Amino acid sequence: MGDRDARRAELLNAAIAVIEEEGFAGASLRKVAQRAGCTTGAVTYYFANKEAMMTAVIESRFDVFDTLLGKGDAQIDLRAGFERWLDLTRSDMGGGWVAGLQLLAHAQHDPALAAVYQRRYGRYRRRFATMLEEGQQRGVIRNDIPAELLADHLSAMGDGWMMLLPIEADRFEPARITALLDSMIAMVSPPGAGPASKPAG
């Protein structure tokens, strides 16, 4: 099972590299096979067609995002989570970032891929909202805005940083990142808590 999972992961990495270099339209099972050093038949053993492969790439990207929320914990340290998000973006500024944008752009015209984004992003936001709601109940997250809306706002903030950091890396120097994280914590903290607090909800 481990070898099969490892081979599948290799093929997904090859697919990401091909999407980065060739764009979505140029990414084919044959080119992924060439990149991975195997036959097209070996690729179709794992992915029946291009759509299945692209779906698997999107799913794998969301699997990484899900780990940022922890392993089923009811609580989340927002500051640490956003720091990990920025670190992940910085380390992933090559193929993964470019491929992700290519797939997202293509999904606007591909209902099947759009459905994958809707399902996985919806699941992520619901889980995030549950954690924020738990933080509201404990008094560490402001409760004058529904947790569902906070989850949308914070997710959009993280997405925006993810899109801009690779393009404006100089703007995301350590002091500015600290200021961004401080202001984010201040925005979600209950009134009077101050920017120094670090909500864990």
Average pLDDT over residues 120-139: 92
Cβ atoms of 69 and 27 closer than 8 Å:
no
Q: Is the pLDDT of residue 97 over 50?
A: yes
DSSP letter, residue 47? -
> Over pLDDT 70: what percentage of the chain?
89
Q: Average pLDDT of 133-152? A: 94
pTM of the model: 0.81
Q: How far apart are CA 84 and CA 90, in angstroms?
A: 10
* CB-CB contact of 112 with 119 (8 Å): no
Q: Residue 116: pLDDT above 90?
A: yes
CB atoms within 10 A of CB 92: 19
Q: CA 185, CA 107: separation in Å to the nearest integer?
A: 32
Confidence of residue 75 (pLDDT cuts 50, 70, 90): low
DSSP H or E stretch at residue 139: none
Q: What pLDDT score does 85 carry?
A: 83
% of the chain at pLDDT higher than 90: 56
C-alpha to C-alpha distances, 79 to 70, 138, 191, nearest whole angstrom: 13, 17, 18
Averaged pLDDT, 61-76 = 71
Confidence of residue 195 (pLDDT cuts 50, 70, 90): very low
